[in-house]
Amino acid sequence: MTGVIKNAASAVATAMSDAKTKDMQRNIIDPGNTERKGQNLDYGPYISDTDNWLKITNGTNSGPSLLEDQVAREKIMRFDHERIPERVVHARGAGAHGVFRVYDDRASKYTYAPVLTDPSRETPTFVRFSTVQGSRGSADTVRDVRGFATKFYTQEGNWDIVGNNIPVFFIQDAIKFPDFVHSVKPEPHNEVPQGQSAHNNFWDFVGLQPESAHMVMWVMSDRAIPRSYRTMQGFGVNTYTLMNSKGERFFVKFHWTPELGVHSLVWDEALKIAGQDPDFHRKDLEEAITNGAYPKWKFGIQVIPEANEHDFEFDILDATKLWPEDLVPIEYLGEMTLNRMVDEYFPEVEQVAFCTSHVVPGIGFSDDPLLQGRNFSYFDTQISRLGVNWQELPINRPVCPVLNNHRDGQMRHKITKGQINYWPNRKGTLPPVSTENGGYAEFQQKVEGIKHRVRGSKFQEHYNQAQLFYNSLAPHEKAHLIGAISFELSHCDDPVVYQSYTKILNNIDFDLAKQIALNVDGTIPEAPGRPNHGKVDKTLSQAHYIPSEPTIKSRRIAILVADGFNASEVLAIRATLKAGMATTWLIGPRRGKVYPAGQVVGEGEGMVADHHYEGQRSTMFDALIIPSGAEHVQRLSANGRAVHWVREAFGHCKVIGAVGEAVTFLREAVSLPGVQFQSAPGSDSVVTSYGVVTTGTYGVTNAAAEPFKIAVGD
Q: Which residues are catalytic?
A: 90, 164
Indicate the Cα dihedral angle 315, 319, 325, 327, nearest 10°: 0
Letter string b/e over residues 96-123, b meaning 16 or more CB atoms within 10 A of that residue's CB: bbbbbbbeeeebbebbbbbbbbbeebbb
Residue (85 or 305) nearer to ligand HDE, CB: 85
Q: How many residues bind ligand HDE (CB under 6 A)?
A: 26
Options 26-34, 300-308, 368-376, 507-515: segment touching ligand HDE (CB under 6 A): 368-376
Q: Is 665 exposed, middle or buried (0-12, 13-18, 19+ CB in 10 A)?
A: buried
87 lies in the binding site for ligand HDE (CB under 6 A): yes
Helix (H) or strand (E) holding 153: strand 146-154
**Using CB under 6 A as the criterion, what x/- string covers residues 288-327 for binding ligand HDE?**
-------------------------------x--------
Residue numbering of the annotated binding site: 378
Shortest Å, Cβ 173 to ligand HDE:
8
Which range in 277-285, 371-379, 414-422, 468-476 contacts ligand HDE by CB under 6 A? 371-379
CA 478 to chain CA mean position, Å: 23
Taking contact as CB under 6 A, which single stretch among the options 369-377, 443-451, 533-541, 595-603 is the one that binds ligand HDE?
A: 369-377
Residue 70 C-beta: closest distance to ligand HDE, Å: 35
Q: Which of 4, 19, 88, 703 lies at the binding interface for ligand HDE (CB under 6 A)?
A: 88
CA distance 183 to 197: 9
CB of 128 to ligand HDE, least distance (A): 4
Binding mask 216-245 for ligand HDE (x = CB under 6 A): ---------------------xx-------
Q: Is the peptide bond before 119 cis (omega within 30 degrees of 0)?
A: no
- State yes or no: residue 459 binds ligand HDE (CB under 6 A): no
Type of residue found at 629: G
Annotated binding site for heme: 378
Piece of the chain touching ligand HDE by CB under 6 A; list 73-81, 88-96, 649-657, 664-672: 88-96
Whether residue 466 contacts residue 221, with contact meaning beta carbons closer than 8 Å, is answered with no
C-beta neighbour count of 672 within 10 angstroms: 9
169 binds ligand HDE (CB under 6 A): yes
Q: Which of 3, 124, 134, 163 binds ligand HDE (CB under 6 A)?
A: 163
Cβ nearer to ligand HDE, comparing 378 with 510: 378
Amino acid letter, 425:
N
**Applying CB under 6 A, does 253 fall inside the site for ligand HDE?**
no
Closest of 231, 25, 64 to residue 148, by C-alpha: 231
Cβ atoms of residues 54 and 66 within 8 Å: yes
> Judged by CB under 6 A, does residue 358 bind ligand HDE?
no
177 binds ligand HDE (CB under 6 A): yes
Nearest one of 234, 238, 235, 266 to 251, comparing CA atoms = 238
609 binds ligand HDE (CB under 6 A): no
First-to-final CA distance of the chain: 27
Minimum CB distance to ligand HDE smaller for 200 or for 377: 377
Helix (H) or strand (E) holding 93: strand 93-102
Q: According to the binding rule CB under 6 A, does residue 214 interact with ligand HDE?
A: no
Strand partners, 164: 147, 235
CB closer to ligand HDE, 72 vs 96: 96
Q: Is 167 in the site for ligand HDE (CB under 6 A)?
A: no
Instruction: Give strand pairing partners of 127.
Output: 96, 150
What distance lies between CA 394 and its chain's CA centroid?
23
Alpha-carbon distance 404 to 544, whole Å?
48
Task: For residue 555, state whether it binds ligand HDE (rule: CB under 6 A).
Answer: no
Among 242, 353, 577, 586, binds ligand HDE (CB under 6 A): 353
Interface with ligand HDE (CB under 6 A): 87-90, 93, 128, 130, 147, 149, 162-164, 169, 174, 177, 237-238, 319, 353-354, 370, 373-374, 377-378, 381
